[in-house]
Structure 1
């Protein structure tokens, strides 16, 4: 049994991670300030003796005794992180500093949940970990993109300067049950609109592409990275290389929900990337990981979840 800290543990990804850690016998401390996380996501864990919940903002230091730290704290959807961009940057940067400081004090291994957004609007396709990215440092998405890039810098500086055991994971578009219904991301947008009988909003011409990784696959990759050999730090891409246009995704959602919704088109938001697809060669070779859940199967589970709450 390990004592594991999960920051952002009441969020979409964090709550699924807590489930997996509890299931394998770890003792979990879930920390969240509930800016985007929800107690509903972890309510089923509250009665377990191996689970503890703490309301705390990672922008402030935390003094606990743990063996491992998963740093997932940060709003991840454009609507939420653009609502308070200064706080978003603080969460990524101050949060990384505080969690790295904790890891240094207690000699814990620490994993940073980074993002494919560090690649910006990429000129390389698919994106490999060696690609440095094409990021606008002063745009409306920069609070998140540059905050995560700075967090990666801090992780590697702590690794080089203080010999900290670090893992850096670049997460590509992930979907599944417990997504926030108003997070503004494309899967949740389409599913909620379809279930309400509303037209599905596509930004731009709908030919821009994304890769969609089901949450169970993503969490498996995260745990494998944390458990990997000490010399493998990453960064490593974890996502599904299957690529779909927005129109293809929308048409699949319409078919699976049985809605009579139509497609409507709106202008593309500033700095919205036109392509996003991971090269997962490194994850395959070093973690023996690749996604298993097909998009249609994962969407069925996601639609069932949203039916229960919308």
Structure 2
């Protein structure tokens, strides 16, 4: 069985992002030395500012579409813009980040014999005609649409991970992440939770696309990080993919109404046409994560929203 090499650090690509910064916190809390790599396209220095003086934390500004030369024991590959606003801004770079980034972390893992986790996405399922979505479902994805740079980039990354596992013996872990929310979300990322909270706190109309009957499942960030760590700690070969998310399903309108109630906002709902290729249903089948990792999310939506609202209330305060 492969043993953890305590003399070599853990690498987190995209470590200054929303998920990555929480993961860095957790890994440091577990006693690891952590190298955080980020090019700050969507990551923010404020997310990891509290770690800069930590003796076991190192920040490296780097783009994963370029090779990495490091000595590491574990790799969490989280580098990629993950909201439509950001990944559609430069779709060619999004594909390069997903595909070349995967290639470079896999080459690093092969050379150093590191265990490597790929932060994949529920977007590999596209607009699904199977509900909820199990890992065996191959998806229904538009390969030439506006979202394809992300959807297909992540699908290709999964292919690379499995081929490096089969051909080169690399110890890979593929986690398909469903909608996640919490403190440190980017206020302008266009994601539904951050959108609704920011609009509600500003007293602006809350924008709902379509009639708000499309569904999503929302996982609080602490629960997701629990899953990452449990997956990487699993001793035997377990390439996955494994769905990681919260199986409790809500309509977008229900989410908006809950945000208005929790913020005490006077915001009203406004309805706009659905964007292209927007999935109508999204809920993970997480039975495999329960069986293999002993994991299930614990934080209820109301509690998670309260914590996230408190973060945005502080973030949006005017600077004096």
Question: When the two structures are superposed, what TM-score results if normalisation uses the length of structure 1?
Answer: 0.99
**What's the secondary structure of 2:150's corresponding residue?**
helix
SS at match of 2:309: helix
Residue in 2 that maps onto 1:204: 210
Give the root-mean-square deviation of aligned CA atoms.
Answer: 0.6
Q: Distance in 1 between matches of 2:270 and 2:32?
A: 47
- Equivalent-residue separation in structure 2 for 1:225 and 1:231 (angstroms): 10
Distance 2:269 2:9 in 1: 48
Query: Do the aligned residues in 2 keep the contact of 1:58 with 1:94 (CA within 8 Å)?
Result: yes
Which of these residues, 73, 76, 90, is aligned with residue 67 of structure 1? 73
Structure 2 match to 1:122: 128
Gap runs ≥5 in structure 2: 1-5
> Is residue 167–residue 234 contact of structure 1 (8 Å, CA) maintained in 2?
yes
Alignment length (residue pairs): 310
Question: What displacement does 1:199 show?
Answer: 0.8
Q: Which residue, 102, 107, 112 being the options, matches 1:106?
A: 112
Tell whether 2:283 aligns with 1:277.
yes
Task: Kindly indicate whether residue 100 of structure 2 is the aligned counterpart of residue 88 of structure 1.
Answer: no
Q: 2:152 aligns with which of 146, 167, 170?
A: 146
User: 2:290 and 2:245 mapped to 1: Cα distance?
Assistant: 11
Q: Secondary structure at the match of 1:169?
A: strand
Structure 2 counterpart of 1:309: 315
Residue equivalent to 2:300: 294
Shift of 1:3: 1.2
2:41 is matched with which residue?
Answer: 35
Report deviation, 1:229: 2.5
Query: Counterpart of 1:233?
Result: 239
* Alpha-carbon displacement from aligned partner over 1:194-227 (angstroms, at most 9, x marks no partner): 0000010000110000000000000000111111
Asked whether 1:161 is paired with 2:167, we answer yes
Matched, 1:171 2:177: yes
**Which residue of structure 2 aligns with residue 21 of structure 1?**
27
Paired residue secondary structure (1:111) = strand
Q: Partners in 2 of 1:48 and 1:255 — Cα distance?
A: 39
Instruction: Supply the distance in 1 between the matched residues of 2:135 and 2:235 (Cα, whole angstroms).
Output: 18
Query: Secondary structure at the residue paired with 2:21?
Result: helix
C-alpha separation in 1, matches of 2:59 and 2:123: 29
Which stretches of structure 1, 4 residues or more, deviate above 4 A after TM superposition?
none
Aligned-partner Cα distance in 1 for 2:290–2:253: 29
Q: CA deviation at 1:96?
A: 0.4
2:260 maps to 254
Question: Which whole-Å CA distance do the structure 1 matches of 2:41 and 2:30 have between them?
Answer: 28
